[in-house]
Structure 1
Amino acid sequence: MKILQAIKMKGSTFNFIQDLQVLKNPLVLVFGNRYMLQDKDLYREVRTLFPNGHIVFGTTSGEIMDANVYDGTVVLTAIEFEKSTFLVKAKNVVDFGNDDKSLGQQLMSEFSQEGLQHLFIVSEGSSVNGSALIHGVEINKLCKVGLSGGLCGDDDRFELTLSSYNEPPKEGQVVAIGFYGDTLEITSANFGGWTAFGPERIITKSKDNILYELDGKPALDLYKKYLGNKASELPKSALLYPLSVRTQGDSEPIVRTILNIDELENAMILAGDVPERSKVQLMMSTVDDIANGANLAAKIAMRNRKNKPELALLVSCIGRKLVMDQRTEEEVEEVISVIGPSAKITGFYSYGEMAPFEGQETCKLHNQTMTLTLFSE
């Protein structure tokens, strides 16, 4: 595995960390600030650098490279796989009438599962229901095939997210990268570090990822009451107080971030499904708890590995970044302390993370977690 990495600041060209070399058929991951990815010259610039590259773009709520977290930049990681192969496919939510489950099912059908080790998804994060997308992918995916990824971000604006494969970034795109090869070792894990508090309430009215009522009362009114003065800063302030959602039949609660609010319907739009009869509590966290959560996520990902990782893709939630503020890099440092200094690290802050719970095979949509996917060949 050969890896090149570069960073682009506003108004400058890409600055490569390693000496620039020609890579054969590279996978090129480009994560960056939405305004910079909207620049029409960016795609041409990356294509010139990697004329034979398979280029995947995704907007972020912060960029990760090595032990650093950036804002307002573009980070690039180009990977040449020497013993394995990959395949990239993309679909748009508009072509499926926003039926995200069908999109996921169709996307999965385009990958031969013979020799398929893992699927990594970079999805638009503005309108997609991540739970439905994952459900669609999981319908026909074999259990032995891993699944992880994230929903693109837009800082804390929640206005517009973009992604693409081999074309300029655009709205509504869901990109999947399939990794093939017997020599590949890919592991993924996630962990949060958030604590539930306050009364437990029952979801009495919801539809998919829209929450209307808790205990028969308007959910948005109740949430605003808890937030107090911070209610005027919604939806941004909601990132500091996500919801713990325990669905019937599930042993582990799922953390759900509120992506937007609907004042007219008095409802809250979340990143993933919130089924009726689920039990809900507010959550909060501290800088130390979040850093410890990242450390534990890395330990879970490393637990059964045979080889040291050469590449680490990190997807962490924007809510964690808002809590940690000036200390955000500490969670990346915690990951490095576990996986070792030799792995190249890239990733982004997101509106949602995809990975299975520890010990489970089925992927879930998470919020407020550090999710990492480790590669070696």
Structure 2
Amino acid sequence: MHIQYLHWNAAHGWRGANALREPAQLVLYFGSREGLESGERYRELRGLYPDGHIVGCSAGGQIHGDDISDDEVVAVALRFERTQVRLASEIVASRDDSRACGERIARQLAAPDLAGLFVLSDGLVANGNELVAGINGIVGPDLPVTGGLAADATKFEHTLVGVDGEPVPNRIAAIGFYGASFRFAHGCAGGWDVFGPSRKVTRSEGSVVMQLDGEPPLDLYTRYLGEEEAAAMPGSGLAFPMRIHDEAEPDRQIVRSVFAVDRNARSLTFAADIPEGCTAQLMRANFDSLAAGAGEAGRQARSALADEIAGDKLAILVSCTGRRRVMGQRTQDELDAVAAELGDDVVRIGFYSYGEIAPPAASGRCELHNQTMTVTVIAEAAA
């Protein structure tokens, strides 16, 4: 596999590294909503790579190497030696259509030699949890599936996904990689500290939680966070996500962040579904632990590359916009921790998302996460 890294900004347009020896098969790009919505960046990439698939999305910050930017578009062009690439996409009309969209995408890409899927989804209209469930239901729990939900910084107005066309809202895209030579390694970790007792979700509907141990969840958050922090929710709630798991499946521990507050009903809406009857526990930020969690995601991905690799290696980092907001100036620490684990021979690109898609190490089954660093390393094994 061979990689060409490019980036765009208003001052100099597109700049790239050494040209590929052969035409690119796949181009991945990430940028702000404002930088992508005119379609001009896509059209420029299409001019540079007329024969390749071009896939990308809007972000809450773009990752390129050791840096984070808000006003650049970052991209990589990939040329494989022995791997085939196919795309599938759907328009998701509403959250209720998400599982069906996932099933249709998976059916389009399913094949005996399918080695992995990378998914980019609209971050506001789609229900990421149901999307992942639809994909898993078709390809099974053992196929590695990673990716993320497009973001719109902290605006939450609309997000964009492009798949061989100008990026648009309501789009879901998936890239299928095929062949015995393709290597698809991944890691996923958070680093949040739990506190307080475990509680039962006694009443919920989708992503809205009405009761924890029979008590309105906003009352619980107010008691633990204090009146001032509770009054600043949902913004302040990003620093206090909730870990959920089913006692019958203790290895499936997922982080969910607060998305909205209904002060009249005293209920909380989270960024993805929280099933009634599951166990929940509050979490809080520890900057050193968050950075260590990101490093753990990088370690998991790197250690999964057991084969000797031919050519370049690409790491796609997908972290949460909520993590970036909580960590502030220390966001750089999580990128440094990932880089230290991956090593200097891995090209790094990525984005800050509204939800991260990856299999946790404990269960190995693809899930939708919030407030998590996920790392996907793609490469080709030596012949």
TM-score category (smaller protein): over 0.9
Which residue identity does 1:15 align to in structure 2? R
Match of 1:307 in 2: 308
CA distance in 1, matches of 2:80, 2:264: 51
Match of 2:6 in 1: 6
CA distance in 1, matches of 2:222, 2:15: 45
Q: Does 1:340 align with 2:340?
A: no
Superimposed CA distance per residue, residues 130-169 of structure 1 (whole angstroms, 9 cap, x where no aligned partner): 1111111011214442111111112122222111201221
Give the secondary structure class of the aligned counterpart of 1:98: helix
CA distance in 1, matches of 2:128, 2:15: 34
Of residues 42-51 and 219-228 in structure 1, the stretch that sits farther from structure 2 once superposed is 219-228
CA distance in 2, matches of 1:199, 1:285: 17
311, 323, 327: which one aligns with 2:326: 323
Of residues 1-10 and 216-225 in structure 1, the stretch that sits farther from structure 2 once superposed is 216-225
Instruction: Give matches, 1:1-377, under 5 Å.
Output: 1-10=1-10, 12-16=12-16, 18-21=17-20, 23-94=22-93, 98-227=96-225, 228-252=227-251, 253-263=253-263, 266-305=266-305, 306-307=307-308, 310-377=313-380
CA distance in 1, matches of 2:29, 2:282: 34
Structure 2: which 5+ residue stretches go unaligned? none
Distance 1:232 1:23, change over 3 A: farther
Of residues 196-205 and 345-354 in structure 1, the stretch that sits farther from structure 2 once superposed is 196-205
CA distance in 2, matches of 1:22, 1:53: 14
Q: State the Cα distance separating 1:248 from its structure 2 match.
A: 3.4
Q: State the Cα distance separating 1:225 from its structure 2 match.
A: 4.8
Q: State the Cα distance separating 1:25 from its structure 2 match.
A: 4.2
How many residue pairs get aligned? The number is 375
Structure 1: which 5+ residue stretches go unaligned? none
Which residue identity does 1:258 align to in structure 2? V
Q: State the Cα distance separating 1:327 from its structure 2 match.
A: 2.3
Which residue identity does 1:180 align to in structure 2? Y
Which residue identity does 1:33 align to in structure 2? S
Superimposed CA distance per residue, residues 317-365 of structure 1 (whole angstroms, 9 cap, x where no aligned partner): 1222123222212212211212211111111111111111215332111
Superimposed CA distance per residue, residues 209-266 of structure 1 (whole angstroms, 9 cap, x where no aligned partner): 2222222233234335544323344333221111111223121321101233345654
**Amino-acid identity (%):** 35
CA distance in 2, matches of 1:4, 1:58: 19
Distance 1:77 1:200, change over 3 A: same
Of residues 42-51 and 172-181 in structure 1, the stretch that sits farther from structure 2 once superposed is 42-51
Distance 1:214 1:171, change over 3 A: same
Which residue identity does 1:59 align to in structure 2? S
CA distance in 1, matches of 2:332, 2:95: 39
Distance 1:24 1:295, change over 3 A: same
Q: TM-score, normalised by structure 2?
A: 0.91
Of residues 337-346 and 138-147 in structure 1, the stretch that sits farther from structure 2 once superposed is 138-147
Which residue identity does 1:6 align to in structure 2? L
Which residue identity does 2:34 align to in structure 1? Y
Which residue identity does 1:355 align to in structure 2? A
